[in-house]
Amino acid sequence: MEGIKINTKYYPDDNDIVIVELGGYIDQTNCGQVQKVISDIIKNEKQNIVFDLSDLIYMSSAGWGIFIGEIKMVRDSGGDIKLSSMSPEVYEVFQMLEFYHIIEDFATVQEAVASYLNDPDRVITKKEIEKSSTDDRSIEEILENSGVKSKFTIEKVDEEIVIDGEKEPEITIEKEKPTPVVKKKKGPVKQEKQLNIAVLPLPEKIKNIAAHYPMLNIFQIRKMLRHEKFGHTKIGLLKLYFTMRYLNLETVSKRYRFYRSF
């Protein structure tokens, strides 16, 4: 399997926009290189990033996790991350993981750049993009040689999903109330046996969540599965999605229909 290919360049009319071309395969072994590129850009006060994914063949959940994990730092610095030119295969994963709630995507690099310029109707030609200076050195090295010094020191931030500047809503799970004992005039007192969800198989846990919380997205479902009530179940986004698709619960509308029929 081929490795990752990364190339960075500046948009010539606005040096605050950095275009990062990603190609090849991104997985657990090399996704750290993408994280380093993002960190270098922010350290050097380049805030607006467009990822050109036209040559990207495959990206694992670890690679997608870099975008989700780093976007908070980028937005805190006043910038943003935007994706463009995804192949149908990459775009399918992007859609099924519901990342469109978090990161904007565009059909072309030109459209993504135009969104930063606050002029969505402007058509940016490929020639303008190709005018951008390319260099094998890191962005940090280029700026250092030009005399520009960074004012930023990046501190470690907690991993949390931020959508439109707001933190992911907290999920609170109410403790189950004990089943009331119904006393009868005659005969022994009976008490219904409570279901221990924590020991159920993963599909049953997912169905239980869908039956009670149908409007949660895939991130919130994964977060809920990690709760004590569900046995601290840890699962990757891709595996969770395919399990939900097997159960015919991969979309909110399907989960809502399941909730109505439960």
Same domain, 159 and 201: no
User: What is the number of domains present in the chain?
Assistant: 2
Question: How many Cα atoms occupy the beta-carbon half-sphere of 231 within 13 Å?
Answer: 13
Judged against a pLDDT cut of 60, whether residue 155 lies above it is answered with no
The answer to the question of residue 81 being in a domain is yes
More confident residue, 47 or 188: 47
What CATH number does the domain containing 90 carry? 3.30.750.24
Residue entry with tokens 């459209």: 111
Q: With CA atoms as reference, report the closest residue to 63 among 137, 3, 153, 134.
A: 3
Tokens for 72, please give them.
């908070």
pLDDT digit string (tens) for 51-81? 999 999 988 888 888 888 888 889 888 899 9
Same domain, 64 and 152: yes
Total-model pTM: 0.54
- Distances, alpha carbon 259 to alpha carbons 31, 57, 252, in Å: 38, 37, 10
Residue 211 lies in domain: 197-261
pLDDT computed for residue 14 by the predictor: 63
Q: Rounded to 5 degrees, what are φ and ψ at 222?
A: -65, -40
Task: Tell me if 78 sits within 8 A of 152, measured CB to CB.
Answer: no
Same domain, 32 and 155: yes
The answer to the question of residue 183 being in a domain is no
pLDDT computed for residue 205 by the predictor: 92
Same domain, 141 and 223: no
Lowest mean pLDDT, pick from 132-141, 148-157, 173-182: 148-157
Judged against a pLDDT cut of 60, whether residue 224 lies above it is answered with yes
Same domain, 132 and 211: no
Judged against a pLDDT cut of 70, whether residue 166 lies above it is answered with no
Q: Is the dihedral of CA 81, 84, 86, 92 positive or negative?
A: positive
The answer to the question of residue 171 being in a domain is no
pLDDT, mean of residues 30-50 = 88
Judged against a pLDDT cut of 60, whether residue 161 lies above it is answered with no
Lowest mean pLDDT, pick from 5-14, 42-51, 66-75, 211-220: 5-14
Taking the CA atoms of residue 236, residue 237, residue 243 and residue 244 in that order, the dihedral angle to the nearest 10 degrees is: 150
Q: β-strand 162-163 against 4-11: which pairing, if any?
A: unpaired
Same domain, 130 and 59: yes
Same domain, 139 and 97: yes
The answer to the question of residue 158 being in a domain is yes
The answer to the question of residue 156 being in a domain is yes
Tokens for 110, please give them.
């030109």
pLDDT, mean of residues 194-218 = 87
The answer to the question of residue 172 being in a domain is no
Same domain, 21 and 149: yes
The answer to the question of residue 178 being in a domain is no
pLDDT, mean of residues 244-257 = 85
Q: Is the dihedral of CA 91, 95, 98, 100 positive or negative?
A: positive
